[in-house]
Amino acid sequence: MAGYGAIQVLWNVTLDVAQGEIVTLLGNNGAGKTTTMLALTGLVPPWGGAVSLAGRPVAGLEPPDVTARGLTLVPQGRRLFGSMTVEENLLMGGYLRRDAGIPATLAHVYEILPRLHERRRQLAGTLSGGEQQMCAIGRALMSRPKVLCIDELSFGLSPLVTAAMLDVLVQIRAEGTSVLLVEQDVENALAVADRAYVMEGGRIVLSGSAAEVYDDPGVRAAYMGL
């Protein structure tokens, strides 16, 4: 359960993400998807229930501590530091780390997202929408997350760029990082996801494998016009 002030937004939301799995959270605007992401990552304090990562509770921790535990959010709208370079934005993603592996992680981010290496000296505010999304994902990867939460991957992006971003998520999954994806492009999200949840009115109303949710008549009528 969670909400804002006296307004409750989420009711008894239960979901899980296994290691190396893409799970997508679907629903119309106002269904509670973003609030779910914010509650998981500590940006909105849960009113009740539990949030755990690898068996360790994280509910009630401050957002930096949640990130340090391995649960990282790519927020809707990217929220980059526009007056800083791409590389400076990426390095900000590792600011909580105290190990010597940051250069190696940065090199790996550039390997996954080579466009960022080309643009590494460019101000983030001058990037295209797709490049900004790449930068936001790369920044999150710098924290070496166990679970990467992405809110509205395709927001403001063309279908071609969205497809490229989904391919990146498949690669991230193959390397063992779990992904929880909020996405309006239902058909493409289900194409890459292992499992899916559907939210309505702050509640989970349907869950199953991506194929099961794709074949659900209600989902096809509500979100795909089929």
- Give domain limits for the chain: 7-47+59-223
pLDDT of residue 154: 87
Residue 113: left if φ>0, alpha if ψ -120 to 50, beta else—which one?
Answer: beta
Q: What angle do the packed helices 129-141 and 159-174 form, to 10 degrees?
A: 10
Q: Which residues, other chains included, contact 72 with Cβ-Cβ below 8 Å and sequence gap of 6+?
A: 41, 93, 140, 143, 145, 147, 148, 149
SS percent in the chain: helix, strand, coil, step 5:
40, 20, 40
Q: Which residues, other chains included, contact 60 with Cβ-Cβ below 8 Å and sequence gap of 6+?
A: 42, 45, 46
Does 7-47+59-223 carry CATH code 3.40.50.300? yes
Neighbours of 148 (CB within 10 A): 24
3-state DSSP call for residue 142?
A: coil
pLDDT of residue 223: 83
Q: Tokens for 139? A: 């920044």
pLDDT at 217 over 80: yes
pLDDT at 202 over 90: yes
pLDDT at 63 over 60: yes
Contact 59, 49 (CB under 8 A): yes
Q: H helices of the chain, where?
A: 33-40, 63-69, 86-92, 102-112, 114-118, 129-141, 159-174, 186-192, 210-215, 217-223
Contact 12, 1 (CB under 8 A): yes
Determine the average pLDDT of the residues in 66-83: 91
pLDDT at 177 over 90: yes
Residue indicated by tokens 């649960």: 71
pLDDT of residue 62: 92
pLDDT of residue 226: 52
Percentage of the chain with pLDDT > 70? 99
**φ, ψ of residue 139 in degrees (nearest 5):** -60, -45
Q: What is the pLDDT of residues 23-59, one digit of tens each?
A: 999 998 889 999 999 999 999 988 888 899 988 999 8
pLDDT of residue 90: 97
Q: What is the pLDDT of residues 86-106, one digit of tens each?
A: 999 999 999 888 899 999 999
Determine the average pLDDT of the residues in 138-146: 96
pLDDT of residue 1: 76
